[in-house]
Amino acid sequence: MPEVVLITGVSRNLGGAFARALSLIEDGPARIIGVDVIPPAHSIGRAEFLRADIRSPMIGKIIDSAAVDTVVHMGVIATPIASGGRATQKEINVIGTMQLLAACQKAPSVQRLVVKSTAGVYGSSHRDPAMFTEDMAAKKLPNVGFGKDSVEVEAYVRGFARRRPDVGITMLRLANVIGPRMKTAMTDYFRLPVIPIPLGWDARLQFLHEDDVSAAMVVATMGEPAGTVNVAGDGIITVSQAVALAGRPFVTIPAPASRALSGLFKRTGLIDFSPEQLDLLVHGRGLDTTRMREVLGFEPRFTTRAAFQDFVYAAPRPIDSALHALSGAAEDAGLRINAIAGAVPFGRGL
C-alpha cells in the first residue's frame, strides 16, 4: 500500500477533488503531498501543499526528501486559457512531464506511477472503430493542442516504464470529463446560448463525471498497477441528444465552416475549441471499458447520460434577450435557428 503519495496539479479542480477523496480513505497513505505553481483555492483534505513547479529540478528534491513511493500525475492541463496560453500549456504538459519522470527515474523510493491521460489520444476520424480498446492506435493522430500533448506524455511514460521496470504504472485514458464544477471547452460549448451543430453529422459522445474521476484515481492509486485503461461512463449520447438535454436552441452549419466559427469564438473569449475537439463533434468517439471493470476493478457511478444531466442541472440557463439577439443575427446571416425540447422560448428565427 502507498505510504507517501505526491499529487501534481493539486490546485486544479480534479487534482484537489482527488486529494480530498484520497484523504478520506481509511488506512490510506500516511502522508499526502500536493504540489502546484499556485496555492489551491479549494480544500485538499489532509494533503500538505508545497508550492513547486514540475518543470523545475525542485520536484526531484521533494520526492527524495519525502521518500515518495507513489506519484500521481494530474498536472496535464486540458485548457490553454487556464494555463495562460497555448505555449505555457504545452510547456507544463510536455516539459513538466519530462522533468517529473526524470525525477522519478532517479528516485529509488518511487514504486508506483499513476497518470491522468485522455481518450483524446485516439483522435477522431471517419475511419475510427465503433469502440477503441487500449491496444488500438489512432487512425488520425491529434496534431495540435491537448490531444497532441497527451500523445507525447504517454510516449514519455512508456519510455520511463522501460527504464524503470520495477515501477508499477497505471495510466487512465479519461473520456470527456463533465460535471457541475467543470469548465472545459466541451462544457463551454454546451453552455452557449445557441449551439452550432455540424450539418449532416450527429457524433457519438461519451462522458465521465468529475466525481468518478476522483474515484477512479483512488482505485488506481490504492489498487494493483493496471497499465493503460479507458475510463468512461456507460452508454453514449449523440450531439443532438446532448443539445436536447441541455435545453438549448441550435443552428446547423457546414462542417468546414465550424473552424471559422471556432476562431470567432476564440477571439471573443466565448470558447477555446481546438481542431481535434471540432473533429470530435463531427466524428465522435467510443471507448471500450472492459479493462476498466476487469483489470482496474472500477465501476463509474454515473452513466454518460447521467453525468451530462448532472452538468445540465447546474448550468445557467440562456437569457431570453441574448437568444433574441442571436436569433436575429443568425436570420440576418441566412441561417435558421431550431428550437428543441426544453429550450427557453423565443420568437424571431424559430
pLDDT in tens, 26-66: 889 999 999 999 999 999 999 999 999 999 999 999 999 99
What is the reported pLDDT for 224?
Answer: 95
State which residues of the chain have pLDDT below 70: 80-85, 255-275, 316-350
Contacts 24+ apart (CB under 8 A), 138-146: 140/279, 142/276, 143/275, 143/276, 144/274, 144/275, 144/276, 145/80, 145/86, 145/274, 145/275, 145/276, 145/277, 146/76, 146/77, 146/78, 146/79, 146/80, 146/89, 146/93, 146/118, 146/120, 146/274, 146/276
CB atoms within 10 A of CB 209: 26
Give the pLDDT of residue 323: 45
The DSSP 8-state label assigned to residue 119 in this structure reads G
Q: Domain ranges in the chain?
A: 4-182+205-233+285-302
> Helix %, strand %, coil % for the chain, to 5?
45, 15, 40
CATH number of 4-182+205-233+285-302: 3.40.50.720
Instruction: Provide the sign of the torsion angle of the four alpha carbons 274, 276, 281, 282, taken in this order.
Output: positive
* Per-residue confidence (pLDDT) for residue 272, from 0 to 100: 63
At 259 the pLDDT is 61
Q: Which pLDDT score, from 0 to 100, does residue 144 have? A: 72
Three-state DSSP at 125 gives: coil
Q: Return the pLDDT at 325.
A: 44
Q: In the prediction, which pLDDT does 291 show?
A: 98
pLDDT at 334: 46
Give the C-alpha separation, 83 to 243, whole Å: 28
